Structure 1
Amino acid sequence: MPLTIDENNLKNGVLTLVVTLVEVIQEALEGQALRRIEGGDLTADEQERLGQALLDLDEALESIKADHGLGASVADLRRGLDDVVGDVVDRLVNPVLGVDPEGGGLPRAAT
């Protein structure tokens, strides 16, 4: 059976993944920037340049999403990633949420 690949869907899928990952990295950078600003580690000039760089990155990401119609797909992927990360964090914070009823011994989220 031949494998058929829709090149446009593949390109949009890869671009969606890349934009989503850059957004996640951007969020981490913003958190680190706030910690450095609040800690007094940056001069006023460094704060200004960092803030402008983060704004420029945000504008570029929004432009890419608009140009390629990726807003909804990026938002969907972010929600999915947020759910996965939330589950992992829950299990790390409280590893005894329950035992797998199949006997695997791995913690599972309580329902």
Structure 2
Amino acid sequence: MQPANKNSGRINLDPDNAEEGLAQLVMTVIELLRQIVERHAMRRVEGGNLTDQQIEDLGIALMNLEEKMEELKQVFGLDAEDLNIDLGPLGRLM
């Protein structure tokens, strides 16, 4: 499956290829949430109130999540730039 609209930064809303645009949109939302969770986790680590075991567990969970995202991008034929959609006057998403 090819990306919805390769390198344009926009979601493809063509009815004949709606599933590709939907996959791109869903993956973009998941990637955005993953980045938010990662930033929050880093703030908690930097806050100094986690045990060494909690930091280790958090690191492993984040690595596993990133690996799964890479697998899903391959399944849907997307790359990181495909998930950085153009929001028009607001600029790029990520």
- Whether these two folds match at TM > 0.5 is yes
Which structure has the larger Rg over C-alpha atoms? Answer: 1
Following TM superposition, by how much is the alpha carbon of 1:84 offset from its aligned partner in structure 2, in angstroms?
2.0
Partners of 1:10 and 1:33 in 2: CA distance:
34
Aligned to 1:98: none
Residues 53-68 of structure 1 correspond to what in structure 2 (within 5 A)? 53-68=61-76
Number of aligned residue pairs: 79
Q: Of 83, 86, 93, which residue of structure 2 is paired with 1:80? A: 86
Distance of 2:83 and 2:27 partners within structure 1: 10
Q: Which runs of 5+ in 2 are unaligned?
A: 1-13
Tell me the distance in 1 between the aligned counterparts of 2:74 and 2:83: 16
Q: Unaligned regions of 5+ residues in structure 1, if any?
A: 87-111
TM-score by length of 2: 0.70
TM-score (norm 1): 0.60
Which of 1 and 2 has higher RCO (CA within 8 Å, sep 6+)? 2
Tell me, in whole angstroms, the C-alpha distance in 2 between the residues paired with 1:77 and 1:63: 14
Contact 2:45 2:55 in 1 (8 A): yes
Q: What is the distance in 1 between the residues matched to 2:49 and 2:71? A: 32
